[in-house]
Amino acid sequence: MQILDGKVVAESINKENEERIKRKKTKPNIAILGIKGDEASNTYIKRIEKNCQKFGIGFNLFLAETEEQFKANFEKIKDDEKITGIMFQQPLPKELLELVDEIPPIKDIEGVSSYNMGRLFLGKERAIIPCTSKAVIEVLDYYNIDLTGKKVVVVGRSNIVGKPLIPQLLQKNATVTICHSKTKNLKEETRNADVVIMAIGKARFLKKEDIKDGAILIDVGINFEDGKIVGDIDFEDIKEKASMCTPVPGGIGTITNAVLIRNIIESSEKF
């Protein structure tokens, strides 16, 4: 089985990021808004901050104690011309998540607003695409995996992976099936798929009996087992049956970080 190493894909993207940032006279400057208390979020935020420092990107963190303070922080920065990109760090209450559509579309570095998602689904140029979904496409492109006519099953329907993958996969002439927690005969769907993209957050969920011989597997899942990060795919179990698979860690998550930096740079260029 071939391992689809996300690190080499990320290196390729970051090389381009470095060249683009060198050409900019004014560096990007982003703001992250969240609510205190979630340790997993704090870890992710620190990773973003480290990447921003590496590329000379301004980083501003606004962690609120209350929902009202979150709203006040957002009002303060959303139209600030010094801020070229904004993202909300989840988890957040539903009421606060709805504020994402008040982010100026050009500053929506995660591509999750109705404006950017709408442009993506309509195939409009210059849409900012959700980073994790784009990372899946990046690894497929890097390893020259042709999806024309292939049956691609995506397990997970989130706004950051499953849904935005639909138009991107269709653009590559794939036959796309979206599965989720209410799907009947889920394993029958995955067994008939040429490509399976897992994004449900269930550790080692996909086993060798759930795929066909030679299947290509993309693991978007991030789960913790006994202090270790594992994916939605049982990597050790499937490696004798699949033809290709992304690892966890070192796969899609690594690429997502590079794509976010690219989105930040592109957003500031449009800004």
Question: The CATH number of the domain where 196 resides is what?
Answer: 3.40.50.720
Q: Is the pLDDT of residue 271 over 70?
A: no
pLDDT of the residue at 70: 97
pTM of this prediction exceeds 0.85: yes
pLDDT band for position 227 (cuts 50, 70, 90): confident
Q: What's the pLDDT at 65?
A: 94
124 falls within a domain: no
Which of residues 89, 105, 121 is at a domain's end? 105
Mind listing the pLDDT tens digit for each residue in 76-86? 999 999 999 99
Which alpha helices (H) appear in 24-145, and where do they start and end?
A: 39-55, 67-77, 94-97, 114-121, 131-142
CB 1 within 8 A of CB 245: yes
Domain membership flag for residue 241: yes
Arithmetic mean of pLDDT, 19-30? 94
Are 135 and 217 in the same domain? yes
H helices of the chain, in order, are: 6-23, 39-55, 67-77, 94-97, 114-121, 131-142, 162-171, 186-191, 235-238, 252-270
Would 170 be classed as within a structural domain? Answer: yes
Overall number of domains in the chain: 2
Residue span of the structural domain in which 71 resides = 26-105
Burial of 125 (0-12, 13-18, 19+ CB in 10 A): exposed
Paired residues of 212 in beta bridges:
none
One-letter amino acid for residue 61 of the chain: L
In degrees to the nearest 10, what's the CA dihedral of 88, 90, 96, 99? Answer: 30
Cβ neighbourhood burial of 82 (10 Å; 0-12, 13-18, 19+): exposed
Domain of 91: which CATH number? 3.40.50.10860
Q: Are residues 135 and 243 in the same domain?
A: yes
Instruction: Judge if 41 and 87 occupy the same domain.
Output: yes
Asked whether residue 33 is domain-assigned, the answer is yes
Q: Where are the beta strands (DSSP E) in 158-231?
A: 175-179, 195-198, 216-219, 223-225, 228-230
Q: Is the pLDDT of residue 222 over 70?
A: yes
Is residue 264 included in any domain, yes or no? no
pLDDT at 208 over 70: yes
> Do 146 and 101 fall into the same domain?
no
Looking at residue 95, its amino acid is E
Whether 238 is covered by a domain: the verdict is yes
Closest among 109, 93, 90 to 42, alpha carbons compared: 90
The verdict on 69 and 158 lying in the same domain is no
User: Are 95 and 160 in a shared domain?
Assistant: no
A 10 A CB-CB count for 185 gives 10
Could you give the angle at the alpha carbon of 63 between the alpha carbons of 59 and 69, nearest 5°? 125
* 172 in any annotated domain: yes
Residues 138 and 84 occupy one common structural domain? no
Q: From the CB of residue 95, how many other CB atoms can be counted at a distance below 10 Å? A: 10
Q: Are residues 164 and 207 in the same domain?
A: yes
Residue 40 confidence (pLDDT): 66
pLDDT digits over 40-98, tens only?
677 789 999 999 999 999 999 999 999 999 999 999 999 999 999 999 998 899 999 99
What does the pLDDT read at residue 127?
A: 85
**pLDDT tens readout for residues 151-165:** 999 999 999 999 999
> 222 and 145: one domain?
yes
Say if 212 falls within a structural domain. Answer: yes
Q: Are residue 69 and residue 154 in the same domain, yes or no?
A: no
Q: Helix, strand or coil for residue 130?
A: coil
